[in-house]
Amino acid sequence: MMNIWYMNGAGNDFMVIDARGQNYDFDTLSVALCKLTGADGFMAVDHSDKADFRLHFYNSDGTRGEMCGNGARCICRYAYDHGIAGESMVVETDAGLVPGWRLGENQYRVKLNNPGVLDLHRKDDVAYVELGNPGVPHAVKEVPGLTFENKADFWELGKALRHDPAFPKGANANMYAWTGENEVRILTFERGVEDYTLACGTGTGSTACVLWMEGKLPGGHLKAQNQGGLLEVTIEGKDGEITSILLEGPTEVVREYEI
């Protein structure tokens, strides 16, 4: 019998299991479980000799991902609720070690990996960011006038950026528009999902990094409205170098499955 939690972080949804001591075929399992709910991704908790636990992350198409910001926040809640870790914890990921904190029953914060790559002009006005080394690849582009209501108008642009040869690993395409001071609206077309997702934590963090490097985020704090909810990013840095990226937002346990 396998216990599965169906969770989401600001709408970014995942099927989550405890795989400690098990020998699962994650590639196959991720596809099968994500089909049950149409989830964006699959996550498994495993033993770690470097952190409180290990995170295995897979996209819904069965491809392995380096890390996932909203996934990391959800896995922190899963670990706390299952007694695997306390209110502060460290998660081992393919992109490096990720500290996490429980702020409340539903609210969690993680420290994203600092940029391993940050190129503000990888292709014209499109920036390229990898959080971690190797990191999750992100393209970041300002799209004035972008709204969730007219998102269909930008689907082809998102798909083109996701597959653009300027990004050799492919990229999550993050398109944003300013909505106020230190506030943006973000729409992300994700590789491995091959469509828009309701939120992208590393995408939001990557966008905040680009804005900070461009001098457009002087206070270092960004409020980002995703389709699935509000995510907040706090950037710290010195002498033009980013030293800390904190991602905060809601988590939700939608349903439990026994298979």
Of 34, 74, 76, 200, the catalytic one is 200
Longest dimension (CA), the chain: 53
Tokens of 210: 């680009």
- CA nearest 120: which of 112, 129, 132, 133? 129
Could you give the C-alpha distances from 176 to 2, 201, 208, 254, 258, in angstroms and in order?
Answer: 39, 14, 11, 28, 39
- CA 254 to CA 259: how far, in whole Å? 16
168 burial level (CB within 10 Å; 0-12, 13-18, 19+): exposed
Of 68, 74, 76, 209, the catalytic one is 68
Q: State the amino acid at position 211 in one-letter form.
A: L
- CA 219 to CA 230: how far, in whole Å? 18
> How many CB atoms are closer than 10 A to CB 244?
12
74 is catalytic: no
Q: Which residues lie below 8 Å from residue 180, measured CB to CB, with a gap of 6+?
A: none
Supply the residues annotated as catalytic: 68, 200
